[in-house]
A and B are shown apart, each in its own frame.
Chain A
Amino acid sequence: MNETKHTTLMDSLKEAIREQHARMEALPFIAELTNGQLPLESYVGQLRAMAVIQSTLDHELAQLNAGELRTLLLGRPSRLAHLRKDLSVFDKLHIPDIEAALGHTRTIAERIRRYRVEQPNDLLGIQYVLEGTTLGNAVHLPDILRTFGSQTSGTAYYYTGYGDRTAEYWQEFCVAMNALHINQDECARLIQVALDFFDELAALFSTFYPLQNQEMIYTAGMLNPEAGDHPVPNDVREIEAAVTAARKCREEFPYFDERYQERGRSFAKSDAAWLTTLSELPGTQLLNQVEWLGRVLGNRGMPRITLERQLELLYEELVAIVPEKTDHYSGLLEAAESLKRERLHHIPEPVFTDLAREFHLATDGELQGRLRRTGDLIVSAVCDQAAGISEAVTSLLTWLTDPERFSPQWFEAVSNTLNKAQKSVNGNA
């Protein structure tokens, strides 16, 4: 047991952060939240920042040396999932980001990554603060519901925490932390990490409110907390077009939602938004960028026929919403055509369509529409592989041949289509 003068680790942490905690509670953000005046941009800004921080921490927690504690934490309901649910309610509003908040969030995320490399158990200092936040959020849940509940159908998952089990989970965490075998120096280090994190959170929360002098910008993180820092359009109409196009593409290929779920939906939006910005570039550069994304996606189980369709759908949405820039967006359509030409170079029509159709018929109409166009995906993956995307087929088949999802008849159909497609490459049918 780690006791310093009969004081447990959790007692030491609680005592150490007392002053910081009081300062956080005195921030204008909290005051406005309590009096029901907090602007929506501030609330959404907080959710987004915490989503980035939580997703970074979730990635790094797997490296903790403290096995039991790691198991405990990774076994809990995902706070990132709570944050995503809260954010999804405001998706359609396309609320811009607070630029100053982005810098602080990025700094915190980098620090978390550095801890994992230099001293993984430091992550427990971060986790302590976040677990404490979960507990403390319950105090402000009524304020959140009062201020924003009408817009969220009465939900606030992040502030609800673990619901009825919040107190129980906190106790479990306390017991696990107090059971750690750490010496006095390590204890002091954990406390310092928690203090530093509290200071950074205070600086971050200071950017959420007041907003008067804050620069508000559209960012990739607005659409997807895991998107990083790539460009997105400045025009909200273009963002709306991108989001719509992403949704339509996912509807054409339901495989996306089945496999990648909420995370995939988020990336589809942010990728579509980024693709929109490529229309600023001259032809060769635009194509270069599209080809790069095609390689990245193709190696991750997303055959490039989907990127081809995404570009076509994006063009359609953009010219419908921003018709005065129709010429400006033509490069996106040209990029789609270039991808199509390359695809059909490897397996030309009508062979491509025939193979996809055969698969459709062999799989009960791709399981009665639930996974429509999967045949296209398989044949497209073969084309991608022929084009040099080395993991194109493997990354797709990993999911399509999962015995927990699919029957032996399905496997047979996948195997047949794959073999025929591979034989068809470059007219070698």
Chain B
Amino acid sequence: MTTSDATQIHTSDVKSENAEAVSIAAALRQEYLKEILAGNRKTALEIIMDAYRGGYPIPGIYVDVFQEALYEIGRLWETNLITVADEHMGTAITQYVMSNLYQHLEIADKHRGKLVMTGVQGELHQVGANMVSDVLEADGWDAMFLGTNVPTDGVITRIREHKANLFGISSTMLFNIPKVVQLVETTRNEFGDSVRIILGGGAFRTLQKLPAELEGCIVAMDLREALDMTRW
């Protein structure tokens, strides 16, 4: 895939519009999920690299395969059909596969702005934030991914140093929402409206009502929305 092709990446490409594409995505995801739950790191990587070499765009792999597989892992854990060790393994293998895929990521020519992305303090799940960072980077954002569980003052420093105009916060666990609120309030106190805030992660998918303190933030329920909502 060329760089000019990459600049044409639209959510429609990522969405896999027709039924056949949806079916291919579903089959790929099922196969991938089976391998990561079995702990087959090498097979999982081969499946993804084969898909990429076969023309599947990387952002599409993130959206259709990794994201959905990890949501399914979360659901399987919540319903006690897999253990926390299985969940860790699935996540760890996905991070390993992502790190191998990253070197092939084509970056769009468009320069959208500067992003700092992090998981909230106390949040040990970082793969979601990592995915958003990679996908937005491919879409033209100058992305700095801090990892997760970074102390607030460190995050604020990085936003300042990177001169970010977009700050992304990920939270997988619902119990970390109060910390998201604190981080958003601190960010607003420091930067006012000059830094827009995008929120995402499993916690927001579960939340029935957005806390009032988070009104005004962009809330993306998945990677597709994160892409759509940051193309202003």
Contact = CB atoms under 8 A, between A and B. Distances in A.
Contact of B175 (A113, A230, A390, A395): A230
Given A117-B41, A229-B124, A285 B92 contact: no
Nearest to A115: B92
A391 B81 contact: yes
A288 B204 CA distance: 11
16 contacts: A59-B84, A59-B85, A59-B88, A113-B89, A113-B92, A116-B92, A118-B41, A229-B124, A229-B149, A231-B122, A231-B175, A285-B209, A285-B211, A299-B79, A300-B80, A391-B81
Contacts of B124: 106, 228-229
Which 5 A-B residue pairs are closest in the complex by CB-CB distance? A299-B80, A59-B85, A117-B92, A300-B80, A299-B79
A153 B89 CA distance: 40
Interface in B182-208: 206-208
Interface of A: 59-60, 63, 106, 113-114, 116-118, 228-231, 274, 280-282, 284-285, 288-289, 292, 295-296, 299-300, 390-391, 395
- Category for how many chain B residues contact A: 20 to 34
B219 interface: no
B220 interface: no
Contact of A63 (B39, B173, B177, B208): B39
Interface of B: 39, 41, 78-81, 84-85, 88-89, 92-93, 96, 122, 124, 149, 173-175, 177-179, 206-209, 211
B90 to A, nearest CB: 10
A50 B100 CA distance: 33
Given A117-B92, A296-B78, 13 more contacts: A59-B88, A116-B92, A117-B41, A229-B122, A229-B124, A231-B179, A284-B208, A284-B209, A288-B174, A288-B207, A288-B208, A390-B79, A391-B80
Contacts of A391: 79-81
A295 B92 CA distance: 25
A300 B208 CA distance: 23
Contacts of B208: 284, 288
Contacts of A300: 80
Contacts of A390: 79
Contacts of B92: 113-114, 116-117
A27 B179 CA distance: 36
A229 B175 CA distance: 10
A380 B78 CA distance: 19
Contacts of A296: 78, 80
B80 A292 contact: no
Contacts of A288: 174, 206-209
Nearest to B206: A292
Nearest to A292: B174
A295 B78 contact: yes
A231 B89 contact: no
A281 B174 CA distance: 12
A97 to B, nearest CB: 14
A12 to B, nearest CB: 27
